[in-house]
Structures are given as structure tokens and as C-alpha cells.
Amino acid sequence: MARTKGSIGKDTQAAIWQTAKKLIVSHGFEAMTLRQLAAEVGLQPASIYRYIKSKDELLQSLMLEHMGQLLTACQKAVPRHATATRKLEAFVAFHIRYHIERRTDVILANLELRSLQGEAHAQVVTKRRSYEEQLIAILEHGRNEGAFAINELEVAAYAILAMLTGVCFWYNPKGRLSIEEIINEHIALVMRGVAASK
């Protein structure tokens, strides 16, 4: 056989990416083989190479794309002119919702950074830092306003991000709690955690 009936490059490309994400998250990047990926997509191993340059480049694409989208989505979701309290609430809600809806991408980006090398690794780290700085800026704004009581902005930011991202690892779509309920619980924890006593 060669070209198969009904085969369209765009669809195959999408299937490869989606399947790759799933396999990487469940087995790890190193443990996933291109043969396994090809088999799940319904191709021969060699055919993958019409769509990727190498296995490493596949991981790079997946991670850089995810980080880029996360940054732009965040900038849209958090209001630029508002109180720090409102900004922080918006940030928490955005982060949890975005991360739950793209759990696969998030887990991948968090667990496979060490499999990334060279230029791409540096780029991902830089983008992650940009994202962290958006939260740090909000916390600083709140401290200047007198609304937040925080000694160490960076520690607080890391703590909050770890807490929120952690949802990805236990969230169950069939579970008792809706995304909104989960968001509200976390908003309560975070806002009380940073709020200045009155």
C-alpha cells in the first residue's frame, strides 16, 4: 500500500499531535516510542517523518506552543485596570479553568521540561518566568495598595501557582465537584491567605 483512501495531511498532523500528547503524559516522553505513536495513529513508523523532523523536535513544538498560548490567554483574562483583589481573583479563576481544560498539555509541560534541551529548553523557561511575573506583579500591586500582607512576593507566587496547578493532577471530570466549585474553594484559600487583616 501507499497513500490510503481519504488520507488528508491536516487530519493526520492533528492526530499525531493529539496522540503524542496522550502517550507522553501517560508514559513519559522517553518511554513513548515513535512506533507506538505511529501504530495508534494508524501509520507506519516512517510516515511520521512527513510531519516531524525528529522526536525531539516534536516535544519542542508541543511545549513551545503550549507556553505561548498560555501567556496570551492569561493576558486576555486578567483585567489591566482593576483592584489587586479583583485581578488576583481573575488570575486564580483563569489559571484553574485553563489548566483543567488542557490538563494534558499542562502535565506534559510540567513533567517533560527535563527532556527538552538547548534553545527550546531556555525558551520554555523564559516563558514560564513571564507567566510567574504576571502573578508577582498582581501580588506586589496588592501589597502597595495595602490589601495584601505578603513578606516574600516570589515565595507567595510560587506557592499559589503550585497549589493551583496541582488541581490538574487530581481533577476528575466525573467527580462530585464542578470546575466552578473547585475555583471558588481555591479563591477562598488564596484570598484569605494573602489578605491583610483589617
Among the listed ranges 38-46, 80-88, 103-111, 154-162, the one in contact with DNA (CB under 7 A) is 38-46
What does the per-residue mask of binding to a copy of itself show for 58-87, with x meaning CB under 8 A?
Answer: ------------------------------
What does the per-residue mask of binding to a copy of itself show for 125-154, with x meaning CB under 8 A?
Answer: --------------------------xx--
Could you give phi then psi for residue 195, rounded to 5 degrees? -65, 140
| Region for residue 178 given its phi and psi (left: phi exceeds 0; alpha: psi -120 to 50; beta: otherwise) | beta
Q: In this complex, which beta carbon is closest to a copy of itself, that of residue 13 or of residue 55? A: 55
| Residue 55: C-alpha distances to residues 8, 17, 112, 142, 169 (Å) | 22, 12, 13, 44, 26
| Residue 31: C-alpha distances to residues 23, 36, 39, 88, 115 (Å) | 9, 10, 15, 38, 11
Q: In this complex, which beta carbon is closest to DNA, that of residue 80 or of residue 119? A: 119
Asked if 3 is part of the footprint of DNA (rule: CB under 7 A), the reply reads: yes
What does the per-residue mask of binding to a copy of itself show for 3-42, with x meaning CB under 8 A?
Answer: -----------------------xxxxxx-----------
Residue type (1 letter), 149: A
Asked if 45 is part of the footprint of DNA (rule: CB under 7 A), the reply reads: yes
Q: In this complex, which beta carbon is closest to a copy of itself, that of residue 11 or of residue 185? A: 185
Please give, one letter per residue, the 3-state secondary structure of 157-185.
HHHHHHHHHCHHHHCCCCCCCCHHHHHHH
**Comparing C-alpha atoms, which of 174, 198, 195, 197 is closest to residue 83?**
195
CB 127 within 8 A of CB 67: yes
Give the binding site for a copy of itself (CB under 8 A): 26-31, 111, 114-115, 151-152, 155-156, 158-163, 165-167, 169-170, 177, 181-182, 185-186, 188-190, 192-195
Give the binding site for DNA (CB under 7 A): 1-10, 12, 32-36, 38, 42-50, 54-56
